[in-house]
Amino acid sequence: MRKGVRSPDKDHQIVEHELQETGFSPEPEKATNKHVEEEEDEEEDESVEKIFESREVPSWKKQLTLRAFVVSFMLSILFSFIVMKLNLTTGIIPSLNVSAGLLGFFFVKTWTKVLYKSGYLKQPFTRQENTVIQTCVVASSGIAFSGGFGTYLFGMSERIAKQSGDASRGFKDPSLGWIIGFLFVVSFLGLFSVVPLRKIMVIDFKLTYPSGTATAHLINSFHTPQGAKLAKKQVRMLGKFFSLSFLWSFFQWFFTGGDNCGFSNFPTFGLKAYQYKFYFDFSATYVGVGMICPYIINISVLLGGILSWGIMWPLIETKKGDWFPADVESSSMHGLQAYKVFIAVAIILGDGLYNFCKVLSRTLSGLFVQLRGTSSRASFTVEEDPTASPYSPKQSYDDQRRTRFFLKDQIPTWFAMGGYIIIAATSTAILPHMFHQLRWYYILVIYICAPVLAFCNAYGAGLTDWSLASTYGKLAIFTIGAWAGSEHGGMLAGLAACGVMMNIVSTASGLTQDLDFKTGYLTLSSPRSMFISQVIGTAMGCVVSPCVFWLFYNAFDDLGLPNSEYPAPFATVYRSMAKLGVEGVASLPRECLVLCYAFFGVAILVNIVKDSLPSRWGRFVPLPMAMAIPFFLGPYFAIDMCVGSLVLFVWERVDAAKAGAFGTAVASGLICGDGIWSLPSSVLAIAGVSPPVCMKFLDAATNSKVDKFLHRS
């Protein structure tokens, strides 16, 4: 298994602004009867568990070590900064599983090596402990996404409300206290909702969960002699580009002493192109993101930028005074800004609706087949139907061993159900005091529906590697917002309900897939240690992520403004969705609704065409969701991402083996270095330390006027 190899089936894993990249191919080729025996012999030779057969599997308590959680806490801070920066700039977040796995392995391996040489090593570093770290780190940094700091939560603020022109409809400014309290109340419920179904999902239905499986293969490979050597080289490469990226960001900071200053505003293609956001902004982060994301996503984002900022917005600008008032501000929702936001919303909703129906239909049909197969086997004895036994001779040695350990440490069903009821009751009582617009019966309805939706999402993710958490969140915005109504704070009620739903569904699919049961099953990690690690990681995230956001919020006064360093584009989008759900479409400027309908239909049509074509052609059809992102933000980050794609493409042509082995490590280094620079830059801003130089680019005529003015003075 080569991590980082692109699969065309994974190209549509972007769910609004969450990208996941995996190179795992879940469907092995079917062998003919002629070669079955030969392939079984090969399987025995390639057995993963036979490699680890001589190593003792630690008990679930010994898998939970202090050093694992110390390393997890350090890495959760690092990745929370990275995810927060991505959230507040463009909202595009690639999978950081490889980075978390590599760094977790490196830190604990270094720790144990030092202890071994000093004679104090009591417990060796195992793949189970590595999985605990992976689970904890990704659970913690995942709160930076599902916590809504760049979407629904920040969308409640007065700053975003003023941009949307609906501050009179209510707002709730961020405060560290209520954000931490809110996350603790809503983030744990999803963990309990799918625990009783873990055996059904992983063993009985044998769901693939490609990302979770790929992560497990990665961890298993680290703990083989060959894999450990490669991992050391990858960590070295990651560290090298981490340093370069950090130093480059530090160097750039010196030239940003004013508005629109610095390398990030370099007019690469000329000043006219710069006016319409076409420029390369020298962002190491998005060059790295481009190296991780599949080519079709990067191309789709660039095409969306060309269509919107290159064609549509210049044409609609000519209608100023006709379609919308000529005297409104550029950021007003009664002017061009409304077209930018609501057409993007229409594409997101069209794409989301289509894929929601597609994944739901696959989920239901797959579930029907599984249940029918289970009921048909129930009439056979074990002798008549060997597949009814988890220790059947037809199972491979790996599957038998993994199943035995997976069933060893069970989490009692009464514990999961009791935990869900207690947390749901507590949440129903507390949330109306945080958001008086969110009535207790709204929350109760969400919690009654949540287990079913969480199961559907977890099952769908097992089939397609696709989480629809943000889609369920949008569903809550419209349903609860419309139910509450405009006069009773429907906008804030809808946004808060989005947070409740999104956290439940997101953590449920994460628990079953990437972070817990599937990865744990494949690494012989106990379900109990996985669950506890997920709980501890979630608790870390509920504190770390709000603190990181609070640092950004206090350090940058222009956070959330359209042309700032951190525009938080999806906060405005989510606020606009809530407005649409509560007020309807009457407030939109002329022809905006027609264009929204058109792009909503086009998004569905493009998806139908993509899925109808053979995969060899369908993989070239752009993704509507990815195209929608630059409609509001601009195409500058798409150019960065395409540069990253170009770097990887050339590297693969020159040396495919090295590109496959080190491409993700290089990309992760670029992302991590630039991301962690956010910490010192925030501290400098809070301390009142400003960059000494403003590097700005002017046309010749303007420069001449500036020179004359300076000489006169």
Instruction: Give the DSSP per-residue string, 93-109.
Output: B---HHHHHHHHHHHHH
Residue with tokens 């606020």: 575
| CB under 8 A, 24+ apart: contacts of 558-565 | 559/88, 559/159, 560/88, 560/154, 560/157, 560/159, 560/160, 560/163, 561/159, 561/163, 562/163, 562/331, 562/337, 563/260, 565/89, 565/264
Residue 568 vs residues 86, 169, 305, 449, 659: alpha-carbon distances, Å: 9, 20, 17, 30, 33
Q: What residues have CB less than 8 Å from 619, skipping those under 6 apart?
A: 8, 11, 296
Report CA Rg, the chain.
26
Residue 235 vs residues 2, 100, 380, 667: alpha-carbon distances, Å: 17, 11, 52, 12
Q: What residues have CB less than 8 Å from 563, skipping those under 6 apart?
A: 260
Residue with tokens 């990437």: 514
pTM of the model: 0.79
Question: Which candidate, 154, 603, 580, places its Cα nearest to that of 350?
Answer: 603
| Domain ranges, ordered by start, for the chain | 8-21+55-686
Residue 113 vs residues 68, 71, 105: alpha-carbon distances, Å: 15, 15, 12
74-119 residue pLDDT tens: 999 999 998 999 889 887 777 777 778 778 888 888 888 887 777 7
- How far apart (Å, rounded) are the C-alpha atoms in residues 634 and 305? 6
Is residue 404 a contact partner of residue 391, using CB atoms and an 8 Å limit?
yes
From first CA to last CA, the distance across the chain in angstroms is: 68
pLDDT along the chain (713 residues), means of 10: 37 40 33 39 60 86 92 92 89 75 83 79 86 90 90 92 79 94 92 75 70 78 82 87 93 87 89 90 89 88 94 91 82 81 86 81 76 57 40 68 84 88 93 93 90 74 68 86 86 93 79 64 89 93 96 90 86 87 78 91 94 89 88 89 94 92 88 86 86 88 83 72
pLDDT for 136:
92
3-class SS string, 186-241: HCCHHHHHCHHHHHHHHHHCCCCCHHHHHHHHHHHHHCCHHHHHHHHHHHHHHHHH
Residue with tokens 């027609």: 594
Determine phi and psi for 93, rounding to 5 degrees: -125, 110
Residue 256: DSSP 8-state: B
Is residue 493 a contact partner of residue 581, using CB atoms and an 8 Å limit?
no
Number of other residues whose CB lies within 10 A of the CB of residue 362: 15
The single-letter code of the amino acid at 291 is M
pLDDT for 133:
92
- How far apart (Å, rounded) are the C-alpha atoms in residues 132 and 138? 10
**Alpha carbon 115 to chain centroid, angstroms:** 36
- How far apart (Å, rounded) are the C-alpha atoms in residues 135 and 520? 9
Is residue 276 a contact partner of residue 638, using CB atoms and an 8 Å limit?
no
DSSP string for residues in 543-598: HHHHHHHHHHHHH-TTTT-TTSS---HHHHHHHHHHHHHHH-STTSPTTHHHHHHH
Question: Which candidate, 477, 469, 537, places its Cα nearest to that of 104?
Answer: 537
218-253 residue pLDDT tens: 888 888 877 878 888 888 898 899 899 999 999 999
pLDDT for 182:
95
Nearest 5 degrees, angle CA 471-CA 172-CA 573?
Answer: 35
Q: How many residues does the chain have?
A: 713
- How far apart (Å, rounded) are the C-alpha atoms in residues 480 and 644? 41
DSSP string for residues in 342-386: HHHHHHHHHHHHHHHHHHHHHHHHHHHHHHHHHHHHTTS-TTT-G
Question: Which candidate, 75, 195, 215, 218, places its Cα nearest to that of 507?
Answer: 195
Is residue 194 a contact partner of residue 204, using CB atoms and an 8 Å limit?
no
- How far apart (Å, rounded) are the C-alpha atoms in residues 29 and 339? 48
Number of other residues whose CB lies within 10 A of the CB of residue 121: 14
Residue 8: DSSP 8-state: G
**Quick one: CA dihedral 172, 152, 166, 160, positive or negative?**
positive
Tokens at residue 635, please? Answer: 């195409």
